[in-house]
């Protein structure tokens, strides 16, 4: 079984990803979509607040109103659009969120540290969570029934609240729990580059080292890839914007992090 | 504006536009301190260990 | 297995419905939510257009923008809220829409007749469909896995488009396909009344007759109940706004239409 | 404003504020006719059999 993560920007190529993925069903596809959440938030008069962590990572601050839009766009609009594209290609597809089952259990941060005016500040945590447990029974029931699974990055909080979780983190946690043949991470870049030259392959140890050297965004991806590979799952980081992006990633394009 | 460090009792200078929740370091003992408001005055308490934010 | 339909107004009592339903899992719950779609459409600057058919039935006209909001609210917000309430009660619940699988296949009307200024007019049909086929394999895979199913009234059109479908019609079609022990239809009224007196029970033949005599809304419910009962499924039409609404409906309250 | 019935050729009176898609009956032959616009004129064609709307 193949596990694929497609970020919001890779989803600009959703028809082609769906066409290509059809050959690998049943699979599990985790999707992102942060840009679309932002655009709908603005339409609904909710101004997104972006916070910067002390280490320089920017992220969306999810308050209660933003969470509402987040769930509507992720688990409603995008999830069903992707399912529709897969159905167009003859894939038996079922769209769920990590909250369903529940499949993804996350812990909400009570407080977070952000940088404002160049100074560090403690603010109440938003409706954002870190995944602390995965229950694969719902996904396995769907796969056994012959259905490919499209999963939106929403989790159930330990207090029962719905939470926004990072799509990469969801994919990595699912990789540890499902032990797929491979985890393919599709984004809008061709893989990992060091000093302008693309990296074809590396060990999980090298990936962990390299994570310290690359920019935010890719560093999180590399760190998670390293941990998934350490646990025995080969990870490929590749562009989702090409023709047959999954087949290319499996055929050698992009950067692979090996167990 | 000044406040007192709850760890060593030393004086800590607050920024003019100090924000509730702001993290400061005590120059005397090195403790990380969190600004909070009480009875419209800014006070300091020892900061808890808090990680970074996460999310999509 | 129990099949329940809870309309948008019954869902004002969603916590209590979830508490009560927990005793009957795994079950299939079809939900409505038209009022919430209207309120979100307004928030997003989409003015809902209500059309009146020549026979006097009012319905929402679903254009492309309204469909987008419909899916976000139905399959996103409401579906996940109901799933969360069920998880709170210890029910293993999974939320899907009729599009997933695909489970509900509908035919979109190319043209519809509406009444404007008291005159009949032909206008292009909106993104609204009539269910023409049901595939129960996704629901059965979930039930076999021990999951209760929460289904949003969205269908896959015969041309691959997503469509708004009537929740009562979805429940009735699922009753024919799943043959549940009973179909419980929860709305905001106590059942069917004739000349101010509540009807306790009737045969499917009587229901078909009575459908001609009652007002719009309830007449559709009765007609569908009659057809489900004719096919062997007992239907109970009851209020969802009481304490233990499902247990009350199964215990004799409301109106039952018998096979 | 007038138009001609495509079934019997009889004259049909159009409402002043006639709407494209409007359904009218021919007084001569009883046919149900649909108004449509062509080259900024309103014309009539026989109406197809169309049911009611449905949906949530
Ligand atoms: Zn000190
Ligand atoms: Zn005529």
Section A66-72 average pLDDT: 95
User: Which ranges constitute the DSSP H helices of A53-121?
Assistant: 64-71, 79-88
Query: Which tens digit of pLDDT belongs to each residue from A18-29?
Result: 999 999 999 999
Give the pLDDT mean for D29-43.
92
Q: Using an 8 Å Cβ cutoff, are A120 and B22 in contact? A: yes
The residue range of the domain holding C155 is: 2-183
**Does B2-46 carry CATH code 3.40.50?**
no
Hey, is A178 helix, strand or coil?
A: helix
Nearest CA in chain C to D51: C112
Q: H or E stretch including A237?
A: strand A234-239
Residue B24: nearest ligand to its CA?
A: 1
Ligand nearest to the CA of D25: 2
| CATH at residue A156 | 3.40.1160.10
Within-domain flag for A188 = no
DSSP state for residue A24 in the 8-state scheme: G
| Chain A CB contacts of B52 below 8 Å | 53-55, 57, 112-113
Task: Please state the rounded mean pLDDT for residues A185-201.
Answer: 88
For residue D50, what pLDDT is reported? 60
Q: Is the pLDDT of residue A114 over 80?
A: yes
In b/e form, how buried is each residue of C37-65, taking b as 16+ CB within 10 angstroms?
bbebbeeeebebeebebeeeeebbbbeee
C236/D56: higher pLDDT: C236
Kindly indicate the confidence band of residue D56, based on its pLDDT and cuts at 50, 70 and 90.
very low
More confident residue, D51 or A111: A111
For residue D1, report the distance from its CA to the centre of ligand 2, in Å: 16
Question: Sorting pLDDT into bands at 50, 70 and 90, what band is A175?
Answer: very high
Dihedral sign computed on CA atoms, order B10, B15, B17, B20: negative
Average pLDDT of the residues in C22-29: 98
What does the pLDDT average to over A56-73?
88
C-alpha count within 13 angstroms, C-beta hemisphere, residue A191: 26
At A223-247, the pLDDT tens digits run 999 999 999 999 999 999 999 999 9
Closest by CA to D47, choosing from D20, D10, D14, D13, is D20
User: Residue B33 C-alpha to ligand 1 middle, in angstroms?
Assistant: 9
Which residue has better confidence, A239 or C109? A239
Cβ atoms of residues C237 and C202 within 8 Å: no
CA-CA distance, C54 to D47, in Å (whole number)? 15
Q: Examine the pLDDT at A88 and tell me if it is beyond 60.
A: yes
Instruction: Provide the domain count of chain C.
Output: 1
Read off the pLDDT of each residue in C134-156 and give the average, rounded to a whole number.
98
Confidence grade of residue C22 (pLDDT, cut at 50, 70, 90): very high
Is B52's pLDDT higher than 60?
no
Residue C38: inside a domain: yes
Which residues are bridge partners to A4 per DSSP?
A29, A184
pLDDT tops 90 at residue C235? yes
The pLDDT assigned to A55 comes to 76
Instruction: Test D21 with C121 for CB contact under 8 angstroms.
Output: yes
Identify which of C1, C13, C9, C78 has the alpha carbon closest to the alpha carbon of residue C217: C9
Whole-number percent of chain D with pLDDT over 70: 86
pLDDT band at D53, cuts 50/70/90? very low
Nearest by CB to C166, from D17, D19, D55: name it: D55
Q: Given a cut of 90, is residue C97 above it in pLDDT?
A: yes
Question: What is the pLDDT, as a whole number, of residue A123?
Answer: 87
User: Who has greater pLDDT, D35 or A59?
Assistant: D35
Rounded to the nearest integer, the mean pLDDT of chain A is 93
**Residues C126, D15: contact at Cβ < 8 Å?**
no
Average pLDDT estimate for A74-102: 98
What is the reported pLDDT for D51? 53
Whether residue B54 is predicted with pLDDT greater than 90 in this model: the reply is no
pLDDT at C174 over 50: yes
Say whether pLDDT at C172 is over 90.
yes
What does the DSSP 8-state code read for residue A240?
S
pLDDT of residue C43: 87
- Is the torsion defined by CA of A97, A98, A101, A107 positive or negative? negative
| pLDDT-wise least confident of A38-47, A99-108, A140-149, D4-13 | A38-47
- Interface-testing mutation among A33, A68, A80, A91, with chain C (most C C-beta atoms within 10 A): A80
Indicate yes or no: CB of A99 within 8 angstroms of CB of C88. no
Q: Provide the pLDDT for residue B53.
A: 45
């Amino acid at each position: 079984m193949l596990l694929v993560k497609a970020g919001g920007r890779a989803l600009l190529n959703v028809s082609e990803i769906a066409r290509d993925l059809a050959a690998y069903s049943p699979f599990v596809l985790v999707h992102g979509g942060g840009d679309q959440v932002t655009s709908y938030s603005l339409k609904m008069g909710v101004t997104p607040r972006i916070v910067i962590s002390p280490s320089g990572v920017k992220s969306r601050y999810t308050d209660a109103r933003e969470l509402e839009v987040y769930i509507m766009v992720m688990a409603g609009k995008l999830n069903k659009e992707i399912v529709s594209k897969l159905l167009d290609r003859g894939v038996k597809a079922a769209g769920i969120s990590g909250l369903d089952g529940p499949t993804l259990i996350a812990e909400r941060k009570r407080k977070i540290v952000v940088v404002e005016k160049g100074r560090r500040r403690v603010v109440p945590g938003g409706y954002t969570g870190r995944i602390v447990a995965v229950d694969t029974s719902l996904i396995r029931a769907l796969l056994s029934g012959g259905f490919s699974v499209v999963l939106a990055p929403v989790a159930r909080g330990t207090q029962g609240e719905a939470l926004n979780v990072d799509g990469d983190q969801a994919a990595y946690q699912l990789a540890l729990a499902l032990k797929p043949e491979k985890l393919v991470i599709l984004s809008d870049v061709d893989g990992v580059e060091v000093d302008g030259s693309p990296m074809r392959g590396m060990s999980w140890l090298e990936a962990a080292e390299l994570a310290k050297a690359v920019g935010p965004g890719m560093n999180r991806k590399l760190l998670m890839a390293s941990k998934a590979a350490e646990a025995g799952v080969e990870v490929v980081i590749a562009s989702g914007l090409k023709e047959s992006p999954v087949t290319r990633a499996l055929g050698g394009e992009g950067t692979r992090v090996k167990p | 504006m000044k406040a007192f460090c709850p760890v060593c009792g030393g004086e800590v200078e607050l920024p003019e536009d100090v924000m509730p929740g702001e993290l400061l370091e005590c120059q005397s003992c090195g403790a990380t301190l969190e600004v909070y408001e009480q009875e419209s005055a800014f006070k300091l308490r020892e900061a808890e260990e808090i990680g970074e934010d996460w999310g999509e």
